[in-house]
Chain A
Amino acid sequence: MTTSPSRRGPIGFFVGFGVVALLIAGLLSYLASSNPDGLDTVTLNGCEVTEVGGAEQLSGECIAQNARDHALADSPLADYTLGGNDGLVGLAGVIGVLVTLALAGGLFWLVRPRQRRWADKTRAGKT
């Protein structure tokens, strides 16, 4: 293992990590496979998918026939598009990364203990 550069602050690393996430969501997402994933493949097993006027219809017998449309299917970012425009998947992805970062980072930041507890104080006294 390389020696730890922990004397430097982590800010540079954090910025880099965030930029990588933004690049993946914003650019690499255009190269993502649009085939159904493993779970969807299994739920579609036994059905024939036919496209009828832009909507997809299932014939045969499969689990996915029981699936209901998403309650928020008409929301602006539904299916990683912007208002239904899937040419903007990258922008939708960038929004998702920023919202996730704000929610998760914000939650963890809010719940972190702010005051040194007594036990920590006594331990810190050694240094």
Chain B
Amino acid sequence: MPATESPFWNPKTETLPKEQLQALQLVKLQRLVRRAWDTSPFHRRLYEKASITPDQIKTMDDIRRLPFMTREDWMECQAEKPLFGDMITRPEDEAIRYHLTSGTSGRQPLRVLDSRKDWSWIADMWCYGFWGFGIRPTDKVFFAFSYGSFIGFWGAHYCCEKMGTLTLASGNMSTEQRVKQIVEMGVTVVCATPTYALRMGQTAEKMGIDLKKDGKVRRVIVSGEPAGSIPAVKQMIEEMWGGKCGDTAGMTEIGTIMIFECDHQPGGPHIIEDHFIEEVLDPDSGEPMAYGERGERVVTSFGRGFMPLIRYKTKDLVCKVPHTTCDCGRTGDIYEGGILGRVDDMKLVRGTNVYPRAVEAVVREHSEVEEFQIILSRREDVQDEITVKVELKPDQTGQWARLKGQLKKDLADAHEGLRFNVELAAQDELPRFELKAKRLQDLRPQY
């Protein structure tokens, strides 16, 4: 079969029977733990404290004997021994790339280094995802990405060069310039955050461009926000662009993506299990969650050599379901609904749990909405209030009276009857985003 006809980037390991996949993971885990023990003082310290040695990893269940690694550990290690701490396994001068976490949570960003092999592996993981979603060497791929210290779509760019697509980097272009180039060049694949894919679509409308008629985009690949797996958001993107929208998710700590939606789109992305072990655990007890139960992602990566990542607590909230949910042939399990949010982004409002992603899922059901913000406040130092501020599309302002009531009802129905305030924002009042959107403001006093 010609390579371009293969539905898989790596048919051999993407379709391995589960028991063989787990056997492969065990071999890789044993070698990874041995290497971390031998070359990373940070990991050696962690393991000695937990009284575990590499030769004690004999079965996959033994992974639970390994201590967790946290972002706080990583930050502390870099603060104590700037710039990179004692986690790195190689001399700094052997690195070829330097990146930072986005720092969206306001904490000290993490610094990461990659070797040539790390960097090429990072691109390869994106290849699994791009190929699996139907991207081929004949495509023209446009990156709406600023190419800075934040890792974002860097790896995806190199993946496209590796695959042989025509790769368009838009760097510091304005949104209007990007839209224009996408149409002018006959771009077939657009990569952006879900928020920015929507923004480009809205900008095109304002420019009088109908992307469905004037453009040739057949795929929109999104990453960086949980919204990429919200069906209403995907539908909006698909209606704007006229192409299928697929979600991916990764993190700077692993340098790349660990999950991607295949062309069959079974309702969530597949895990790249020949390169990662993805555990789903109860965030409090650390006990494994069964298929279909929500828990925290804990990741072990086999690809990053400079900075080993073993049992890293991500704080991502996920729900794993078996690979058989999809009929594509991959044996990597699936995160149903993608990344569902953050374990720590749940807000408690008058006794009800509120997740920003769940609010977004409701708001995006209403196509009249262009942008929104969630504002938490406290009235008279006693009562918590939640307000959703909504900016409508310019031609939809006449719908406000009806929409306001509907939104209040839908939001309450999705949150055990919790009362939401819903307010109308003026045109262009709310902030727009290119990278990760920040749509929640918690103005309540922090104690």
Q: A and B: real partners?
A: no
